[in-house]
Amino acid sequence: MTAPPGAAGRPGYLIRPATAGDLDAIAGFEVEIARVSFGDEAITDAGLHRRRVAGALGKPGEVTLVAAARDAPGRPLGWAWLSGRTNSLTGARYGNFRSLAVADVDDRSQIGELLLAAVLRAASDAGLRQLTGKVHARNLGMRALYRKFGFEATHVTMERRIPEAGAGSGRARTGDGDPA
């Protein structure tokens, strides 16, 4: 799977394949995604994110795109990443939407839409008929963008934090709240 050939986009912006020269900006986007998704537990080491993304650039099965202003094509304003995957049980190919982030600029929504549309074109060109993506429950902007492009919620991840020993009463409870 490869990115769409050439520059695509509406007047004012272009969508192009990400390059090694974009890695610092992309790492910044990944750090911001981590902060939005994980708060105080976010991994904010830009070098770590840079190395992780560098391994995907140009790799078969990976779609790595940036958005930029036509008059400043070397300065990414947004970033999107889709990985081709294979279902281990059925063998069916699908796309795992890994990242989408846009700088805090006036046309932020438009740029996000351009990126997602380009990812969908690349996925279709690669023969992928199903895409999955995770989004933090509080990330209302991304949830709205997913819905606008026809994504539906199909699974909900439930999470519970277990207090460290000695931090709570230590009493176990049954599912209905009664002490065990």
- In-domain check, residue 40: yes
Domain count, the chain: 1
Evaluate whether residue 139 is within a structural domain: yes
Contacts for 52 with CB less than 8 Å, ≥ 6 apart: 30
Residues 30/49, Cβ–Cβ less than 8 Å: yes
- The CATH code of the domain that includes 134 is 3.40.630.30
In the prediction, which pLDDT does 6 show? 45
In angstroms, the Cα distances linking 168 to 87, 147, 148, 163, 164 are 41, 40, 43, 7, 8
Mind listing the pLDDT tens digit for each residue in 53-81? 999 999 999 999 999 999 999 999 999 99
**58 belongs to a structural domain:** yes
Q: Domain for residue 174, yes or no?
A: no
User: pLDDT for 26-58, tens place per residue?
Assistant: 999 999 999 988 888 889 999 999 999 999 999
Residue 133 lies in a domain: yes
DSSP 98: E
Q: Which residues span the domain enclosing 98? A: 13-148
pLDDT at 97: 92
Average pLDDT, the chain: 86
Lowest mean pLDDT among 21-30, 146-155, 169-178: 169-178
Classify residue 132: in a domain, yes or no: yes
Domain assignment of residue 31, yes or no:
yes
154 belongs to a structural domain:
no
pLDDT at 136: 86
With a cut of 70, say whether residue 115 has pLDDT above it: yes
